[in-house]
Amino acid sequence: MHAADQALSVGRAFQKEQTKMIHYCHQSKDRVTHDTIPTLENGLFALALFRTRLKEEILEGKALLEKILNFEVEGNFPVYLHEYPHLSDSFLGLRLLPVLFWVRRDFAHILGELKEKIDGAIERILSHLPKELPRWAKFRLEALEGKVGELPDTEWGLSEALISLQIAEGCGAAIGEAMAKIALLWEPDLQLYTGSSTRRYQRRNTVAPTVFGLYLSHFAKNPIKTGEPHPLFLYGALVRPIKTALTFQKRQSPFIQFTPEGECPLFIGFRGDQITHSFVLAKKHLHVEKEGELLIIRLPNELPDDEEKSYEVNFFLNHHEDHQLFVNGKKATVFQEEDRVEIRSKSLTLRLRLLEGEGIFFGHLMRGNRPSQLSCRGEAQFAAYDWRIALRTVKREEVSTIRVQIQVEQELESPQPLPSHASHCLHTQ
């Protein structure tokens, strides 16, 4: 399914019969109540309707876009229509601008009076921007001039850059070099961003989809499946064919990344039958270094003062039927120093062992959620989507260090040591 078709399908899923508009609230606590009408998502839905090139859908898209434009306030728009005329995002107009750009460029001949409204809105968006612009906003303005700016260095920034790069190409710029650099940061088999990342979100038991992944998976001809409808897939309305043939670097699985400053300093991604699995160490208050296969974890000076805080070191593995967990080759839920915890999955075996600690520590295998889990809201508030492999402090000094050995083995390959720095290349012995 093409990205624009995905966007249309997801838009229909959130569309209400009474208003003919998408109703969705990003802040909904129960993930069920969605009474609000988001401006940007409806703009994306309108573009998806246009891109069907079917008469009834185009008329529906025109009516929807006209409604949205009625809520403009000096070149900007409210995040939700009911907030009008209050503006909580100074750059919502610039985020909506790609929708207006493509509708104006591709469908000018059928817009009628709407064409003048779009032209006026674009002019006011550009003339009322704040003086201080973030990097992504500058990149978008350069794209409108047919220029390619300096690429951002984060996944979120690159997501916005991809939207802008297609505008730049539409304005005559050559974007092949920039797109080739971006393609190097995508692992098509794992469907994983491989650049340096301080936080990787998890949705239920797999890596959360992103706009970056939505674009790159379509360019790699292996689109991310929507699964449960989510408004992120509305961005597929902006995904267009590009003139450049991209080459993707397939890396040896698993993908291992060590980022000391990250929320999860250790990230190991590997492929399952249906989804991408991941094993991580949550940093929390820890200082983490590595030496070969060893993780050297320095605990905080402050001693834990309640039971939950006593679980000071926490590894997480997405819960899935592909995985089986053993302690010294047997099913168990607790382990001690020198015991070997083994994770057997279909594509690899991962071994974890507490070699030594300056104190007394006890290990536990239980269910839980990594810090970046997005799905624990509403009816799923108390759901557990991970295996939690936790080290509980029984007794230690204020200054204390734990050494944990991590070995990864795929089929008959030798164990692979952890990389010495944030990297999208797999380091092997």
Asked if 146 and 172 touch (Cβ cutoff 8 Å), the reply is: yes
Return the half-sphere exposure (C-beta side, CA atoms, 13 A cut-off) of residue 368.
17
The Cα 327–Cα 341 span in angstroms is 5
Number of residues written out for the chain:
429
pLDDT at 423: 39
Return the half-sphere exposure (C-beta side, CA atoms, 13 A cut-off) of residue 364.
16
pLDDT at 27: 87
388-427 core/surface letters (b: 16 or more CB in 10 A; e: else): bbbbbbeebeeebbbebebbbbbeeeebbbbbeebbbebe
The Cα 411–Cα 398 span in angstroms is 42
Gyration radius from the chain CA atoms: 24
pLDDT at 1: 65
pLDDT at 426: 37
3-class SS shares of the chain: helix, strand, coil, % to 5: 30, 25, 45
Spell out the residues 6+ positions from residue 62 whose beta carbon is closer than 8 angstroms to its own: 46, 50, 111, 114
The Cα 373–Cα 148 span in angstroms is 35
Per-residue pLDDT 10s for the chain (429 aa) are 689 999 999 999 999 999 999 999 998 877 778 899 999 999 999 999 999 999 999 999 999 999 999 999 999 999 999 999 999 999 999 999 999 999 999 999 999 999 999 999 999 999 999 999 999 999 999 999 999 999 999 999 999 999 999 999 999 999 999 999 999 999 999 999 999 999 999 999 999 999 999 999 999 999 998 778 999 999 999 999 999 899 998 887 799 999 999 999 999 999 988 899 999 999 989 999 999 899 999 999 999 989 999 999 999 999 999 999 999 999 999 999 999 999 999 889 999 999 988 899 999 999 999 999 999 988 888 999 999 999 999 999 998 999 999 999 975 444 455 554 443 333 333
pLDDT at 365: 98
- What pLDDT, in 10s, does the model give residues 17-33? 999 999 999 988 777 78
Residue found under tokens 């300056």:
358
**H or E element, residue 41:** helix 39-51
